[in-house]
Amino acid sequence: MDDLLLPDRYKQNDFFICDVFDSFKDDMASMEHPVFSLSKKPDHRVLVYESNGNSIKIKPSYTGLATILDKDVLLYLASSLMNAKNNREKISKTVRFTSYDYLIATNKGTGGFQYKQLQEGLERLKGTVIQTNIKTNGVEVIEEFGLIDRWKIVKEGTKGKAVSIEVALSDWFFNSILGDSVLSIDKDYFRLRKPTERRLYELARKHCGNQVTWKIKLENLKAKIGITSPTKTLRFNINKIAETNHLPEYNISIENDMVMFTRKEPPKENNASGQLPKHVTKKEIEKQAKPGESYDQAANRIKGLKDALK
């Protein structure tokens, strides 16, 4: 099965790890609706979906729609903010983080190509706009907003590698954090190779959740995924995934164009596989050292924080 998933690039015994986050988080609004493009090429379509009499329009910028791979940034930030919120720390729409920590946590490489992908993803996240048309009691409200409001990258060195990043989240996304409208997801989500597999997992997690099963007609599933390929292609792909059984947490099966998701095992209250590791480099430890504190003292203090969070 490992060849069906991306390699687990960063095993715990290879790094000094401080488990700062309880688990990865995904916002329920974008899990429900096909907000992100599944294309690996620039996607300049305007997407329109109907939901309970209301419309949702997703518009790209010149760089194209934000992709489900770009969404990894939002998953990382949602996880960070929810952890801080659960620890009763003050949170803000503006979040700062290091590109290295983000790439490690989301199981990406740390070469120049990945840093370039990160910047391009931020451009698409900033440029993609969502327009909603909501009708309630005879009143129609049309609203337009982005996925993030702004971003900033600080680079250093002759090669200009990104060091630190600042992202200002949109009210729409930040309100999901404030309202606890998020769900924990398995860390192996980041090992799924294909965008459609990621979308299927999201839908299974959102609708099956802690239930034993969730059923949906193939045509309805296709609409929720947000793909334009023929139904027969989706049917073929689901059958292949059913054979390999490599989706995290859920089995998938299809019979007479009825798709069924089933939990592989009962949910665990504290799922260690959902732990989001923060890999602390020597430079980061030195940076976090308090005045007069040695490197070893700082490392032991951070390790103590890790143990306290278990």
Per-residue pLDDT tens digits for 120-135: 999 999 999 999 887 7
More confident residue, 50 or 300: 50
- What average pLDDT score do residues 221-239 get? 94
Helix (H) or strand (E) holding 203: helix 195-207
Terminal-residue alpha carbon distance, the chain? 29
**Which of 5-19, 46-60, 195-209, 296-310 is the most confident on average?**
195-209
Give me the pLDDT at residue 10, please.
74
Asked if residue 159 has pLDDT above 90, the reply is: no
User: In this predicted structure, which of 73-77, 102-106, 231-235 has the lowest mean pLDDT?
Assistant: 102-106
CB contact at 8 A, 186 and 274: yes
User: In this predicted structure, which of 69-78, 148-157, 282-291 has the lowest mean pLDDT?
Assistant: 282-291
Give me the pLDDT at residue 188, please.
94
Among 229, 233, 226, 235, which residue's Cα sits nearest to residue 257? 235
CA distance 200 to 308: 35
More confident residue, 164 or 270: 164
Phi, psi of 65 (to 5 degrees): -65, 150
Question: What is the reported pTM?
Answer: 0.81
How is the chain split among helix, strand and coil, in percent rounded to 5?
Answer: 40, 30, 30
**Tokens matching residue 22:** 């309880």
- What average pLDDT score do residues 226-242 get? 95
**Which long-range contacts link 119-123 to residues 24+ away (Cβ below 8 Å)?**
119/153, 119/162, 120/63, 121/66, 121/67, 121/69, 121/70, 121/72, 121/73, 122/70, 122/73, 122/148, 122/151, 122/153, 122/165, 122/167, 123/61, 123/63
Identify any residues that bridge with 51 across adjacent strands, giving them in sequence order: 54
Give me the pLDDT at residue 68, please.
98
Among 275, 22, 20, 26, which residue's Cα sits nearest to residue 173? 26
Among 173, 148, 200, 161, which residue's Cα sits nearest to residue 79? 173
Cα atoms in the Cβ-side hemisphere of radius 13 Å centred on 115? 18
Domain boundaries, the chain: 2-279
Percent of the chain residues topping a pLDDT of 70 = 78
- What average pLDDT score do residues 244-258 get? 96
Give me the pLDDT at residue 282, please.
53
